[in-house]
Amino acid sequence: MSDHIKLTSHPHSGSATQAGQVHWGASSALARGPLVASLTQPATRNVIGTHSGSYSVYRALAVASGHLDREHRPDLTNTAPVARIGPNPQWTEPGKIISLDPWGHCVSEVFAEQIAAGLDVRPSIAITKAHINMPELKDAITAGRLKPDGDILAENGDVRVTKAAIDPVWYLPGVAERFGIKESALRRALFEQTGGMFPELVTRNDLKVFLPPIGGMTLYFFGDVEKLGKPETKVACRLHDECNGSDVFGSDICTCRPYLAHGIEVCIEMAQRGGVGLVVYNRKEGRALGEVTKFLVYNARKRQVGGDRAETYFARTECVAGVQDMRFQELMPDVFHWLGITRIDRWASMSDMKHGALVAQGIEVVERVPIPDELIPADAKVEMDAKKAAGYFSESVPEAAELTLAKGRGLDE
């Protein structure tokens, strides 16, 4: 590695050519070409950014402190996916998948020749198997809602799952098109609104693929993954956006963990009936505003004159963050396209934003499954009323007078 520090790269330096151009959406992996984010062979890079998202900052610490050899290349022996996914027709339909690499799990197979020749191609998706056990599922067995079958669900509450971790891979022209904006405007905002991250976003218009340093997603599959993509396969799904305070600690200000646990019940039932259940867990803490903003908003809600109530629920987030939500469900349907899913039979979500994004991408939602009322914590009624009033899927929309009532606990209660 030379002593010279290159602040950014520019086109016409020949740098993208050694690994080849990326032909996003091409008819095969080879025609698309490998995505190379190598730091050890800079001349082969054909993407902006690098693997493992923001964990690259920790890798930098490891290199700087002498713990990691900067030339390290992963030994991928035995790491291949435990289940086959695709190729599905959606992988090559223009504009269907623009925020993940459909070949990201099988690079060792499809680019075996290039890797053997020394090219540093790395997986952006990994697929493994696990047993999970959540106390809520044991309760569901005790209550008779779930019945152990000794295969998918054991008597002790253990559930067999296949699971996949997916790092985001953005095809910038596709992301721009999805939002109906110019690619140049997208690139410039990504550069400027991050405080100047990755000048290649604006200097390398020839590099069309960006590995953004944001959290990815985790998929939990219940039942036989390889049935996905077949028209006869019934699918149940919970699409869940991270909420650490509820998902892990059981905070009662929202319905996140209760709805997740309910969604998993729905998924297990579907798998037991021969279909496939799927939980998609997106790393988008606090509506992708982050937890600091979320806690600031909690304080503003609980302290406002008139108390914590539905009518001002979204306004308090807007005051602090400038928007109600930054999750941008527009990119979310990509994972269903990747899995070959064109119809979701039971959709454990009431969000109109999630539903709208699926429908806009041509994915049929047959039945929407609301969270059962008895699972809604008392302090979460503010959120639930506000969302129902704003278009959440529900049989009962609260009256206007209802929205003015302070249903949330005060800070010191």
Window 209 to 238, contacts with a second copy (CB under 8 A): 211-216, 218, 220
Nearer to a second copy, 255 or 398 (CB): 255
For residues 165 and 282, what is the distance between their CA atoms, to the nearest angstrom?
A: 10
Phi, psi of 282 (to 5 degrees): -95, 135
Q: What tokens appear for 363 in the block?
A: 């994915």
Cβ atoms of residues 19 and 34 within 8 Å? yes
Q: Judged by CB under 8 A, which stretch of 109-117, 221-229, 344-352, 404-412 contacts a second copy?
A: 404-412
The one segment of 4-12, 89-97, 141-149, 359-367 that binds a second copy by CB under 8 A? 4-12
Residue type, 38: S
In the three-class reduction of DSSP (H, G, I as helix; E, B as strand; rest coil), residue 203 is classed as helix
Among 294, 309, 381, 387, binds a second copy (CB under 8 A): 294
Q: Which is nearer to a second copy, 43 or 181 (CB)?
A: 181
Nearer to a second copy, 52 or 92 (CB): 52
- Torsions phi, psi for 278 (to 5 deg): -145, 125
CB of 127 to a second copy, least distance (A): 7
CA distance 32 to 14: 19
* Binding residues for a second copy, total number by CB under 8 A: 134
Residue pair 91/339 in contact by the 8 Å Cβ criterion: no
Paired residues of 163 in beta bridges: 128, 220
**Closer residue to a second copy, CB minimum distance, 243 or 403:** 243
Judge whether 270 and 345 are in contact, CB under 8 Å.
yes
- Least Cβ distance, residue 231 to a second copy (angstroms): 28
Residues in region 62-101 near a second copy by CB under 8 A: 62-70, 72, 74-82
**Contact positions with a second copy (CB under 8 A) in 364-383:** 377, 379
CA distance 355 to 358: 5
Span of 161-169, 227-235, 352-360, 395-403 interacting with a second copy by CB under 8 A: 161-169
What is the smallest separation between the CB atom of 49 and a second copy, expressed in angstroms? 5
Q: Which stretch binds a second copy (CB under 8 A): 23-31, 88-96, 290-298, 348-356?
A: 290-298
CB of 396 to a second copy, least distance (A): 26
The verdict on whether 409 is a catalytic residue reads no
Q: How far is the CB of 196 from a second copy (least distance, A)?
A: 6
Q: Could you say which of 101, 167, 325, 334 is catalytic?
A: 325
Active site residue 412: no
Q: How far is residue 291's CA from residue 349's CA, in Å, rounded to a whole number?
A: 22
CB of 223 to a second copy, least distance (A): 15
Pick from 18, 56, 205, 394 the residue near a second copy by CB under 8 A. Answer: 56
The CA-based angle 185-187-189, given to 5 degrees, is: 65
Among 165, 363, 390, 406, binds a second copy (CB under 8 A): 165
7 to 36, contacts with a second copy by CB under 8 A? 7-9
**C-alpha closest to that of 356 among 396, 384, 383, 327:** 327
Which residue among 13, 21, 128, 404 contacts a second copy (CB under 8 A)?
Answer: 128
Residue 256 or 398: which CB sits closer to a second copy? 256
Q: Which of 244, 375, 393, 402 is the binder for a second copy (CB under 8 A)?
A: 244
Q: Tell me which residue has tokens 């509820």.
A: 246
Residues 266-285 contacting a second copy, CB under 8 A: 281, 284-285
What is the number of alpha carbons within 13 Å of residue 297 lying toward its C-beta? 25
Q: Which two tokens stand for residue 6?
A: 């290159």
For residue 353, report the phi and psi dihedrals to the nearest 5 degrees. Answer: -65, -45
Q: CA-to-CA distance for 243 and 362, rounded, in angstroms? A: 28
Active-site pick, 287, 301, 327, 346: 327
**CA atoms of 313 and 297, how far apart (whole Å):** 9
Contact between 154 and a second copy per CB under 8 A: no
Q: Which amino acid is at 361?
A: Q
- Which residue(s) pair with 236 in the sheet? 277, 346
> Binding string to a second copy for residues 324 to 363, with x set by CB under 8 A, is what?
--xxx-----------------------------------
Between 211 and 398, CB nearer to a second copy: 211
Q: What is the largest distance, in Å, between two alpha-carbon atoms of the chain?
A: 69
Q: From the list 290, 356, 362, 372, which residue makes contact with a second copy (rule: CB under 8 A)?
A: 290
Q: Which helix H or strand E contains 237, and what residues bound it?
A: strand 235-241
**Active site members:** 325, 327
